[in-house]
Amino acid sequence: MLQGKHILLGITGGIAAYKICTLIRDFKKAGADVQIIATPNALNFVTKLTLQNLSQNEVFVEEFNVKDWKPEHISLSDWADIMLIAPASANTIGKIAQGIADNLLTSVACAFSKKIILAPAMNVNMWNNEAVQQNLKILQMRGVEYLPPESGFLACGYTGKGRLCSLDKIYNAVDEALNYSQMYKGKKVVITAGGTIEEIDPVRYISNYSSGKMGLALAKTANDMGAEVVFITTKDFDVPFKKVLVKSALDMQNAVNEEFDSADYIIMAAAVADYRVKERSEQKIKKGEQNTITLELVKNPDILSELCKRKTSASLEGELSEGQRAGIIVGFCAESENLMENAKAKIEKKGCDYLIANDISRSDIGFNSDENEVTILDNNGAIKKISKAPKNVIARKILECINTK
């Protein structure tokens, strides 16, 4: 599965560096091309000559050893399909988390826009240090994956957590990361995000606290998995795929409807306002002398329900035209009480294929949080809970769960 893949391997200064020689050999046997970046301290534990012989490539150490007018930290980043740092020292983890690029390895990591996997190894007290744990959390929220060290006897004489995890775990993580990206290849995934804005007058509006972060995480992850992504959002995120910027529920409905026929998946992660003002004022409403003001509201269309009805109708009546697909429709529900009871009622009422239930009563996973905890329900009654994790991790697990291939 690694045949022809480009693996960029970073090695930092730690006794576990000697173990990586076996991993390099395994990658090469599987047909991968391996380029190695070693920190100067890494060469205290394993020689440059050994690494060159095993990888059959030059080993990069110096920051400014520029060839062909291509700075190495950019050319290596462009070349690689994935970046693995093993062992990853506390020092290197901290630098990458804080955006410090003071050697070739950290410079490449700073410039790297694809998947990064870390395999930490260090003394147990260093591993348990609050700063190290916070740095790992920062990296995880940015989409960096790390493989926790194992417990046992350490080279420093301590016993505890800090040993480099097994080479099989590292190998399998790289293999999975390089190949899972094909899961949505050839699929079109439409994802909505953010809270809709329903204008009252030119300066006021009705909306909600949705940040759009969960929808963004889903869109980025689907893109990484090879999908053609259409991102319909009320938040102007900078993304490398098609973005449709909308404001109101009606805007969002029109944008989703335009993509419906060609979509393999529609994921409604946006928080759509239930109501809008019946008549928007063209001028700013003046405060006046009255102590109260009355706004007449009307219901917004239920975008999710109407999509599900449209899919069901077309499928039952055999009205799918050439090129039209009966895509998978995924809804979201945000509840402050009776989460599962409300979620079960909603998936039955809406008729979607999957429903992602969120508990917004918790401050640690509610609106604007970088983490989430969700429960996935499907229309056959199956329920799967995904424990609290960064939203990019939650996004990957959701996309893996709903993938029907």
Contact 304, 346 (CB under 8 A): no
Query: In sequence order, what are the residues at sequence separation of 6 or more whose Cβ sits closer than 8 angstroms to the Cβ of residue 78?
Result: none
Q: What is the dihedral of CA 21, 22, 28, 29, to 10 degrees?
A: 160
Contact 233, 192 (CB under 8 A): yes
C-beta neighbour count of 331 within 10 angstroms: 25
Please state, in angstroms and rounded to a whole number, the distance separating the CA atoms of residues 273 and 192: 13
The continuous run of DSSP H or E covering 164 comes out as none
Burial class (CB in 10 A: 0-12, 13-18, 19+), 297: middle
Residue from 253, 247, 254 nearest 206 by CA: 247
Q: Would you call 156 a catalytic residue per the annotation?
A: yes
Sort residue 344 into left (φ over 0), alpha (ψ -120 to 50) or beta: alpha
Query: Can you list the alpha helix ranges (DSSP code H) found in 67-212?
Result: 72-79, 90-97, 104-111, 124-128, 130-141, 167-180
Peptide bond into 87 cis (omega under 30): yes
Pair type for strands 188-193 and 159-163: unpaired
E strand spans, 271-327:
275-277, 297-299
From the list 110, 156, 333, 401, the catalytic residue is: 156
Query: Can you list the alpha helix ranges (DSSP code H) found in 30-103?
Result: 48-55, 72-79, 90-97
Q: Indicate the SS3 state at residue 271.
A: strand
Query: In sequence order, what are the residues at sequence separation of 6 or more whose Cβ sits closer than 8 angstroms to the Cβ of residue 353?
Result: 328, 329, 330, 378, 379, 402
Q: Report, as residue numbers or ranges, the catalytic residues.
A: 156
